Each structure stands twice: as structure tokens, then as C-alpha cells.
Amino acid sequence: MLLDFLQQLGHRSLSIFARLGRASQFLLVTLMALPSVVMRPFLLVKQMYNTGVQTLLIILVAGIFVGMVLALQAYIVLVDFGAEESISLMVSLSILRELGPVFTGLLFAGRAGSALTAEIGLMKSTEQLSGMEMMAVDPMKYIIAPRFLAGVISVPLLALIFMAVAVLGGFFVATDMLGQYEGVFWSQMQVKVDFYDDVVNSIIKSAVFGFVVVWIAVFEGYDCVPTSEGLGQATTRSVVYSSLAVLGLDFVLTAVMYAV
Amino acid sequence: MNMDTPINTSAQPNDILIEIRNLHFSRGDRPIFDGIDMDISRGQITAIMGPSGTGKTTLLKLIGGQLKPDAGTIKVDGEDVHKLSHKALYDLRRRMMGMLFQSGALLTDLSVYDNVAFPLREHTHLSESMIHHLVLLKLQAVGLRGARNLMPAELSGGMARRVALARAIALDPQMIMYDEPFTGQDPISMGVLVTLIRSLNEALGLSSIVVSHDVPETCSISDYVYLISAGKVVEHGSPAQLAKSESAWVQQFMGGLADGPVPFHFKGPSIMDDLMQSGLG
């Protein structure tokens, strides 16, 4: 009984480490294949459309609502202290420091990451990747590298759009709904939001999230068991792992950037 | 037949394109190949036949360098496939090999035309008008010039395989590996593919390897046949020689008989024991 348990534990740990090793090796090969994207810029543009532009709608809608809700909640709390002119501060700081990058990472994992995993996994199970190898075209260069790079570029841009839209959402609620002066809203933000501490750090955060989410998504697709069941599991794993990675990394990055 | 001497039916005994020696390969704990030797001659159609699950497709992947053997060597045109660097392997594939996958393996986001043009665009610096001519000629060879604007999803299985064939010959390789080309085809598509494989081999001076378990179709076009089972080469020779083989296994396989050395019943206790037990239970 105990031996069985130990054996299973060992077996599982070994397979986890083997997978981690494969994922790291995969990342290395992907990074080495990146220069070849320069030779085929049309692939990068196509993938940026597929992953970036196609995710734009959900980012815009989510951004505007998150900003609006935040402004409302901020007003409810702040009005008791007569500090309702700080709405813009609360909205912009929480968006920039946390919600912008995290929401974008999670939405990107759900919308684009899962699609990447499913697409690459299906290519594997329909032998398209093998077929490419036998035509002497390296799928790492033709399929993986452009998708990886497109994702890594797209996520920070999407995060910036998300944050801009969210602040605008907060602005509309604060001024049109709650009757705050426009000047108050913007001047509070201008005084208290720091370019490097807040804006640059949030771009760094979203770049890290983008890197990890896309890495997980393409790896899960490339490494999936080429059956319908295996593909389903890989897609699920892609979304679950990348969401958890975004949340975990967010804590680490926040600790490094703001607390320590 | 003598299994020890290198084998060749053609007039040039030294004209070996692929030389496989003492090949061992296993998946997990299950051995797939247990010391296989093969010689595949230039300019011929060599068939590799055997029951499902004997690793025929695996053998093609080993020859193409997509899998690594546990032991043994595979030489293609004198080069040891598994000792080549990544770049040299890709060079060898580009120069020598075309492969027709069972599913066709067409790129689903490209049209028929673009699929055939794909290797040309990737590997040559030809102008688009030149590529246009080449693609139309290749599609003409497989009879699908009129289908060039269709997407892969709009093709029947047989058509997809023909497009894949046009793509495989786009770079004029010296050899083509066919993975189960006849499986799941209606009689007409099957006839078309049989004729195409033979005529392309003659017209382009190719060497072909056909992996299959469709005995009559494969035998009708192949010059030489290897039968593999349980990780070993069971028999080899021309189709006529195999038909006369005295081995009971070969007779069963070639004749498609339900019972013989390969039993009809999967291993298990006798039916009497099984029924008695379930009756009591």
C-alpha cells in the first residue's frame, strides 16, 4: 500500500520533471528559431491578426466594464470620507498596477492561448507538422516561432489598450454618472500616477504574462497526445496552467516591483 | 529464399538507395523492430507489407529521420540518416525524399494550388510565373489541375492524397515513401492511385517505397516485397516468388485467410471454461 503510493509519487514526479525539461528545451528551440521570422514577415502579420486583433473585442468590452465598475465602487467607499475626487486615482492605479496586465493575461489565455493550443495540436494529429518536416520545412520556424512572437508582441499592446479603455470607462462614470468635474479626474491622475513606477511596470508585467501564456499555449499544442481526447486535455491544461501562472507571477512581480 | 545475402532483383546489384542494417526500435517496453535488414533498390517500387501494428509507418519515419532507432543504421544514398546534423538532415530530405502521408497532411489553411506551391516557395527562388507553371504541371500529372482553387476540406480522401502526391513530387525528389496509400479508398480512387504510383515511378525515374497491407493492389505494382511481422522480416522477394512461398504464415497473409499461423481467436481460456465460469458466477 505504502510502497504503491511511493512508487506512484515517484512516477508522477518523474513525469512532471520530464515535461518541465521538454518545455524548457522547446522554449530554447523556439527562441533560436525566432530570427527566421524575419524571413517570413507575412506569417508574423497573419498571426498577429489571429491572436492580437481577434482578441481585441473581448479586451475592449472587458476593459470598459472593469473601469466603470471600479469607478462606481470607488465612489461608494470614498464618498463617506468626502474623498470622492480621488476616484480617478483609485481607478487608474488599480488598473495600471494589477487589473490591466492580469485581466489581459487571463483573457488572452482563454481567447487566444486555447486557440493556439488547439490549432497546433490539430496540426500535429493531422500529420501536418510531420508532413512539413518531411518537406524539409522546420515547423519550429514556420509554425511555432511566428505564433510565439506574435503573442509576445500582442499581449503588452492589448494590455495598454485594456488600461486606456478602462480609465475611459471610469472617466465616463465619474463625470457623466456621478457628476465629477472632468478637470478633477485628470489632474488627480496626472499628479499621483508615476510613469515609471506605474505605467512602465505594468508594461513589464504584461510582457512577462504574454511570454508565459504563449509559451504554455504553443508547448501544450506541440506536446499533446495526437488524439481527440489528448487534444481536449491539452487545451484545458493550456488555459488552466496559463491562468495559474499569470496569477502566481503577478504576486511575485508585485512583490518585486512595489513591496520589497 | 536466402535471408542472409543482400537481395536484389534488378540487373544492377549494387544500386542500393536505402540500406537498413540490424535495425532495433521500441516504443516504451514494446519492441517494434528486432534486428531488421533491408536493401531498397533505386528505380524500383519496393513494398513493405505486414499486419496492422507491425510498425510499417514507424519504419518510414525512421528512414525519414523523424524517429531515432535504438540500434542499427539506415543509410540513404550512402548517408547515415541518424548521424546527420539537423541542417544536413533537412538538406537530405529536400534533395531526396518525398513522403505521402495516409491523411495527405495537406496544410488546411492553404488552397490546393498553394499547397503544391508551398515546397517550391520555401526551397527555391523561382519567380511566381515559373511556380505557376510548375504547379499546374504537377497537378496535371495527378489529374487535378481543375481543382486548384479548392481548399483541402472540400476534397475527397482520394483527391487529397493525389494533391499530396503532386506536392510530394513538386521538388522532383529521388524517392517517394507512400504510407498506406490505398487504405479507405473506393475502387475507382484505388485504381487511380495504383496507376499513378506506377506511372510516376516510370516517368520520373523515382524509387518508391509503398507501405501497405492491401496485398493484391500492392503486389500488382511492386517489383520487390518485404513482409514484416513481429519485428522481423518474415520473407522477401518478388511478388511472384512470395506467391510460391512455402511458409504457412506468408500463405495466410498473401491469401487473406482467416485462420492459420495467425489464429482467428485472441489468446484466452477455452470457450468451455469461460462459459462454465460465468454460468456458475
Closest alpha carbon to B197 in B213, B16, B211, B186? B211
Q: What mean pLDDT is reported for chain B?
A: 86
Averaged over B119-132, what is the pLDDT?
Answer: 92
The set of residues, in sequence order, having a beta carbon less than 8 Å from that of A204 and lying 6+ positions away, is A253, A257
Sheet holding B16-27, edge to edge: B30-41, B16-27, B71-76, B79-80
Which is more confident, B25 or B276?
B25
* Nearest CB partner across the interface for A127, out of B90, B101, B171: B101
Averaged over B111-134, what is the pLDDT?
Answer: 93
Q: Which three cell numbers stand for residue B15?
A: 544500386
* Nearest CB partner across the interface for B105, out of A130, A138, A142: A130
Query: What DSSP element (H or E) covers B46?
Result: strand B45-49
Q: How many domains are contained in chain A?
A: 1
Ramachandran assignment for A36, one of left (phi > 0), alpha (psi -120 to 50 degrees), beta (any other): alpha
| B66/A130 CB distance under 8 A | yes
Residue B17 has phi, psi (to 5 degrees) of -90, -45
Helices (runs of H) and strands (runs of E) counted in chain B? 10, 10
Which is more confident, B3 or A102?
A102
Q: Which of residues 32-71 of B touch A (CB under 8 A)?
A: 61, 64, 66
The minimum CA-CA distance between A36 and chain B, rounded to whole Å, is 12
pLDDT band at B8 (very low <50, low <70, confident <90, very high): very low
Cα distances (angstroms) measured from residue B176 to each of A134, A135, B37, B200, B206: 11, 11, 20, 10, 7
Q: The domain that contains B199 carries what CATH number?
A: 3.40.50.300
Most A-contacting residue of B85, B107, B115, B171 (CB-CB within 10 A), to test interface: B107
Averaged over B173-188, what is the pLDDT?
Answer: 87
CA distance A178 to A174: 5
| B119/A127 CB distance under 8 A | no
Q: At what angle do helices B157-168 and B128-141 cross, to 10 degrees?
A: 130
Is B119 in CB contact (< 8 Å) with chain A? yes
Maximum CA pair distance of chain B?
Answer: 79
CA distance A180 to A178: 6
Task: Determine the pLDDT at residue B10.
Answer: 44
3 state DSSP class of B232 = strand
Averaged over A38-64, what is the pLDDT?
Answer: 94
A255: domain range?
2-259
Q: Which three cell numbers stand for residue A97?
A: 498596477
| A134/B107 CB distance under 8 A | no
Residues in chain B within 8 Å Cβ distance of A137? 118-119, 122-123
Task: Determine the pLDDT at residue B250.
Answer: 84
In a domain, B148, yes or no: no
pLDDT tens-place string over residues B215-240: 888 889 999 999 988 888 888 999 88
The minimum CA-CA distance between A46 and chain B, rounded to whole Å, is 12
CA distance A126 to A109: 24
Residue of chain A whose alpha carbon sits nearest to that of B167 = A135
CA distance B242 to B222: 12
Q: How many domains are contained in chain B?
A: 1
CB atoms closer than 10 angstroms to residue B239? 18
Residues in chain B within 8 Å Cβ distance of A133? 64, 66, 93
| Residue B36 reports pLDDT greater than 80 | yes
Most A-contacting residue of B68, B85, B99, B161 (CB-CB within 10 A), to test interface: B99
Residues in chain A within 8 Å Cβ distance of B61? 130
B74: domain range?
16-111+172-245
| A134/B66 CB distance under 8 A | yes
CA distance A129 to B246: 43
Lowest-confidence segment of A105-109, B62-66, B180-184, B193-197 by average pLDDT? B180-184
- A62-66, B28-32, B88-92: which is most confident: A62-66
Beta-bridged to residue B74, according to DSSP, are B20
Task: Determine the pLDDT at residue A205.
Answer: 95
| B105/A138 CB distance under 8 A | no
The set of residues, in sequence order, having a beta carbon less than 8 Å from that of A76 and lying 6+ positions away, is none
Which is more confident, B25 or B249?
B25
Averaged over A97-124, what is the pLDDT?
Answer: 95
In a domain, B231, yes or no: yes
In a domain, B193, yes or no: yes
In a domain, B136, yes or no: no
In a domain, B25, yes or no: yes
Which is more confident, A234 or B158?
A234
* Nearest CB partner across the interface for A138, out of B90, B101, B164: B90
User: How far from chain centre, in Å, is Cα A234?
Assistant: 18
Lowest-confidence segment of A144-153, B80-89, B113-122, B243-252 by average pLDDT? B243-252
Residue of chain A whose alpha carbon sits nearest to that of B106 = A128
- A72-86, A228-242, B8-22: which is most confident: A228-242
| A130/B101 CB distance under 8 A | yes
Lowest-confidence segment of B80-94, B152-166, B257-271 by average pLDDT? B257-271
pLDDT band at A220 (very low <50, low <70, confident <90, very high): very high
Task: Determine the pLDDT at residue B12.
Answer: 47
| Residue A49 reports pLDDT greater than 80 | yes
Task: Determine the pLDDT at residue B9.
Answer: 45
Closest alpha carbon to A197 in A256, A251, A250? A256
Task: Determine the pLDDT at residue B280.
Answer: 57
Are the beta carbons of B46 and B222 closer than 8 angstroms?
yes
The minimum CA-CA distance between A11 and chain B, rounded to whole Å, is 15
| B90/A136 CB distance under 8 A | yes
Residue of chain A whose alpha carbon sits nearest to that of B173 = A135
Sheet holding B45-49, edge to edge: B97-100, B175-179, B207-212, B45-49, B224-229, B232-237
Residue B140 has phi, psi (to 5 degrees) of -60, -40
Closest alpha carbon to A92 in A182, A4, A202, A14? A202
Residue A226 has phi, psi (to 5 degrees) of -75, 60
| Residue A259 reports pLDDT greater than 90 | no
pLDDT band at B189 (very low <50, low <70, confident <90, very high): confident
DSSP state of A175: I
Averaged over B47-59, what is the pLDDT?
Answer: 87
Are the beta carbons of B64 and B178 closer than 8 angstroms?
no
Residues in chain B within 8 Å Cβ distance of A126? 103, 105, 108
Size of interface A-B (CB pairs under 8 A): 52
Most B-contacting residue of A134, A138, A140, A225 (CB-CB within 10 A), to test interface: A134
CA torsion A206-A209-A215-A217 (nearest 10°) is -100
Query: What DSSP element (H or E) covers B209?
Result: strand B207-212
| Residue B7 reports pLDDT greater than 80 | no
In a domain, B235, yes or no: yes
Share of chain B above pLDDT 70, in %: 94
pLDDT tens-place string over residues A157-216: 999 999 999 999 999 999 999 999 999 999 999 998 999 889 999 999 999 999 999 999
Are the beta carbons of B82 and B69 closer than 8 angstroms?
yes
3 state DSSP class of B50 = coil
Are the beta carbons of A162 and B92 closer than 8 angstroms?
no
Lowest-confidence segment of A40-54, B23-37, B243-257 by average pLDDT? B243-257
DSSP state of B5: S
| B118/A134 CB distance under 8 A | no
pLDDT band at A260 (very low <50, low <70, confident <90, very high): low
pLDDT tens-place string over residues B142-162: 888 999 999 999 998 888 988
Cα distances (angstroms) measured from residue B102 to each of A202, B131, B158, B207, B250: 49, 26, 10, 19, 25
Is B75 in CB contact (< 8 Å) with chain A? no
Closest alpha carbon to B107 in A46, A223, A186? A46
| A128/B105 CB distance under 8 A | yes
The minimum CA-CA distance between B155 and chain A, rounded to whole Å, is 15
Task: Determine the pLDDT at residue B6.
Answer: 47
